[in-house]
Structure 1
Amino acid sequence: MAVVQAVREQGRMNRDAVWSICGTHVLNDVSTTGLVPALTQMYKPIYHLNYTQISLIVLVSYLASSISQPLFGAWADRHPRAWMLPLGLFLSTIGIALTGIAPSYSVLLIFVAISGLGSGAFHPEASRATHLAAGRVKGLAQAIFQVGGNGGQAIGPLIVSLFLLSAGIRGVLWMFVAVALGLVLTLRLYPWYRDGLRDAGKKLREVDGDNQIGAVILLVIVIVLRSWCQIGIAQFMPFYYAHKYGMGYHLSDTFTFVFLGAGAIGTFIGGALADKMSKQRILLYSMLCSIPFGLGLPFFSGLWALVVLIPFGFFILSSFAVTVVYMQHLLPRNISLASGLTIGFGVGAGGIGATFFGILADHVGLSAVFYILMFVPVVGAILSACLPNDHKRRAGIA
């Protein structure tokens, strides 16, 4: 009976750890993917930037994160270090806080790069910690973790709209509160995570299954396309609605919050479903269901825009946590690398797309950006249909 009870305990989710990691994810993504695109409308007049220079800010943030995350993840799989969790969050939060006193555009880019590198170090460790705390419900645990990130992305534009637009750029210095909170949460988790990494190293040798490289590459492409939708809308929607419909930035930032907030709800529901049905099917259905709303994206304003944005955000981001668990299923021997490729490289590559969209907007107008975003889910659905239909196996390390 003692053995049975131990097995049951091992299979249960460590709720305290999962929700604490979720809180750290909120702080990290508020500081990076939440604030960086939204703050560009404040950086623009201060440093006299065009759309290409605005997009470069986002590119530096996402590129620093996207390139470093797979590298940090691969390194963490070989040499796990629990201290990377608090260090990564410290750098991501303090980097964005320092942009409030950046004396020039070049220094601003350096601070943004520091924040991106911190995010790159944080995500593989936080995702692995979630995996260790998940027990048998990997999808639900990743859903909770990813909702923290999506929530942070949604809160960022709201902070800009409700506080920073009136407080001015030095109001960003209030992000030092996030630095302090991040240290409290991560240092509290540190002893548990350090011990968990030691046990996980022993279990890794018992994992069944091989890495499926072809499917991994295809899944990364789908994630990149999804990121183009998410980052493209978050960055350019305020400018698009102001340019085409005369909407004020306060209202358009609220629309961005609603879009990303709907995505956070979709992320949770999709992740919870991943423990019960095929992850490949959830990814495919999320792309298919987002197509009609994506096609209507550029043509509505006011309340009708919300009718399109809410379901579009819900469906396009409902596969967010699913793709993390699915990637861990395809890379059972490299859990941190799986996180680096999905949360890091795949999502961060959206910053590269944002730069392309910025150049396009400067040359042919903002409308062209949204016309491209209309058809991205169509391509994503086609590629998702080509992925292997996974079975109800546990992803990664049990």
Structure 2
Amino acid sequence: MQTATEVGHSAPTPKEVTGFRVLGAISVAHFLNDMIQSLILSIYPLLKGNFHLSFAQIGLITLTYQMTASILQPVVGMYTDKHPKPYSLALGMGFTLVGLLLLSVASHYGIVLFAAALVGTGSSIFHPESSRVARMASGGRHGLAQSIFQVGGNAGSAMGPLLAAWIIIPHGQTSIAWFSVAALLAIVILWQIGNWYKRRRSEMSTKAGKSGHSHAVLPRRQVMFSIGILLLLIFSKYFYMASLSSYFTFYLISKFHLSIQDAQFQLFMFLFAVAVGTVLGGPIGDKVGRKWVIWASILGVAPFTLMLPYANLFWTGVLSVVIGIILASAFSAILVFAQELVPGKVGTISGLFFGFAFGMGGIGAAALGKLADMTDIYFVYQVCSFLPLLGLAAAFLPRLEKYPHQTS
């Protein structure tokens, strides 16, 4: 059995125009979505003090949020591939809104976990369909479109720690409810995107079959093997990312005796670097090939992760920024590479990879929290520093342009 792989649309045809207004809108919605979600990670020191939590219990919050997102996302993606739901984006943000409000009034640990699960559910609905919207608006520039979409989320994640330091930490847990305004704004934007999505689907249905598409033909076994490699690289990336997003503030406070606000600023700098790396990865992949971006991003970050546990405060800040830029450049390239391996299954592939990424982040947070309780937070960073060496597996990814093409 053979699988057709789309590589013939790396650049727009004369009739294809990149919809930057739509990409901008979905990126803003992604910014608001991930900003809200990052508040959970950003207020861990507050929750730890309020509910007297261990590191393992902190990790369980992340695991609950990430697992609801990761398990549901492939299911949502497969369903919407067959039954597209333009207005499901706004519905997903509604789950996030309810979870946010519940978190602001949570009186015990169980309610915190339930609120985290609701936010994860909202994320599981949002990401597959929003990734589809980005591809529909790409005009053939798929890497660029995914980067624009992704950078909104990464910028939102970067803002979370700052907003937590400026608003939530000084005013307490109930101030989380103030961010419901952002969720309501996102619902309005996503409803408008749903209207465009509905019209665009109608246009695409009318034009279907009028022009052929160039495909590269790969054996099914090689497609599945390549998907496995990409998932291994996602494991490496997001396990390492979990060590920074969930525990970097604790590491800085413990090792360098920083205040919570100063540690949150350092986390913001790392997450801002992640946003910058995301912008660079997609368009570079469009020009030089996604395999080379994947290779350089995952394996190329290894020297810096290996140095981080032994650096002083200044160099810890510098290395975290370098790591963020390099490591983040991979995801857009990985996602588009996978979408090209399995054409016509944008929702399924997006759901699988977003879901797996979230799942690895959640499992990583829980596992690393347990490891920190058993040893110490310094040992966690020593162990995680070796994870990017798994980037060597990128050598086994195919160069899609080498394969014969057919027209469908």
Short-chain TM bin: over 0.9
1:353 aligns to what? Answer: 364
Cα distance, 1:200 vs structure 2: 4.5
Which sits farther off after the overlay, 269-278 or 7-16?
Answer: 7-16
Q: Kindly indicate whether the alpha-carbon contact (under 8 Å) linking 2:102 and 2:111 is maintained by their aligned counterparts in 1.
A: no
Q: Distance in 2 between matches of 1:204 and 1:157?
A: 45
Structure 2 gap segments, 5+ residues each: 1-11
1:336 alignment partner AA: G
Shift of 1:139: 0.9
| Residue 64, structure 1, aligned to residue 75, structure 2 | no
Change over 3 Å in CA distance of 1:367–1:200 after alignment to 2: farther
Q: CA contact under 8 A between 1:143 and 1:267: conserved in structure 2?
A: yes
1-structure distance, mates of 2:316, 2:22: 38
Q: What is the 5 A alignment of 1:1-398? A: 10-32=15-37, 34-200=38-204, 208=215, 212-379=223-390, 381-391=391-401
Question: Which AA in structure 2 matches 1:79?
Answer: H
In the alignment, the residues of structure 1 paired with residue 245 and residue 13 of structure 2 have an alpha-carbon distance, to the nearest angstrom, of 43
- The 1-side partners of 2:155 and 2:208 are apart by 32
1:197 Cα shift? 2.9
- Kindly tell me: are residues 204 and 49 of structure 1, through their superposed partners in 2, closer, same or farther at Cα, counting changes over 3 Å? farther
- Give the letter aligned to residue 88 of structure 1: G
* Bigger mean CA deviation after superposition, 197-206 or 264-273: 197-206
Instruction: Confirm or deny: 8 A CA contact 2:18 2:138 kept in the other structure.
Output: yes
Q: Does 157-166 or 92-101 show the bigger shift?
A: 92-101
How has the CA–CA distance of structure 1 residues 200 and 335 changed in structure 2, closer, same or farther, with 3 Å as cutoff? farther
**SS at structure 2 position matched to 1:391:** helix
User: Within 2, Cα distance between the matches of 1:119 and 1:391?
Assistant: 34
Q: Distance in 1 between matches of 2:83 and 2:349?
A: 15
AA aligned to 1:270 is G
Structure with the bigger RCO (C-alpha within 8 Å, sep 6+) is 2
The corresponding residue for 1:4 is: none
Identity of aligned residues (%): 31
Deviations 1:157-203 (A, max 9, x none): 11112221111111100111112111110111121101223445677
For residues 55 and 156 of structure 1, the distance between their equivalents in structure 2, rounded to whole angstroms, comes to 18
Measured in 1, the distance between the counterparts of 2:398 and 2:359 equals 24
The alpha-carbon distance between structure 1 residues 204 and 214, as it changes in their structure 2 partners (threshold 3 A), is farther
Alpha-carbon spacing, 1:237–1:195, altered in 2? closer, same or farther (3 Å): same
What is the alpha-carbon distance in structure 2 between the residues aligned to residue 71 and residue 372 of structure 1?
33
Letter of the structure 2 residue corresponding to residue 84 of structure 1: S
Q: Deviations over 1:353-388 (max 9, x none)?
A: 110000000011111210122101112x11222222
TM-score, with length taken from structure 1: 0.92
Give the root-mean-square deviation of aligned CA atoms: 2.0
How many residues get paired?
386
Q: Which moved more, 1:321-330 or 1:137-146?
A: 321-330
Task: Give the alignment's TM-score, normalised by structure 2.
Answer: 0.90
The question of whether the paired residues in 1 share the 8 Å contact of 2:31 and 2:156 is answered with: yes
Per-residue CA deviations over 1:84-140 (Å, capped at 9, x if unaligned) read: 111112212431232010122111111110110110010000000011011121111
Which residue identity lines up with residue 19 of structure 1 in the other structure? G
* C-alpha distance in 2 between matches for 1:253 and 1:355: 21
CA contact (8 A) 2:68 2:121 kept: yes
**Native 8 Å contact 2:90 2:188 kept in 1:** no
Counterpart-to-counterpart distance in 1, 2:256 and 2:349: 41
Contact in 1 for aligned 2:56/2:366 (Cα 8 Å) = yes
> Offset at 1:264?
0.8
Q: CA deviation at 1:308?
A: 0.8
Contact 2:281 2:293 (8 Å CA) reproduced: yes
Residues 135 and 290 of structure 1, relative CA distance in 2, 3 Å threshold: same
Alignment check: 8 A CA contact 1:283 1:323 kept: yes
2:18, 2:131 → 1: CA distance?
14
Shift of 1:153: 1.1
1:248 Cα offset (Å): 1.4
| Distance in 2 between residues matched to 1:96 and 1:9, nearest whole Å | 44
Measure the CA separation in 1 of the matches of 2:45 and 2:340: 40
Quote the Cα distance in structure 2 between the aligned partners of 1:330 and 1:204.
Answer: 21
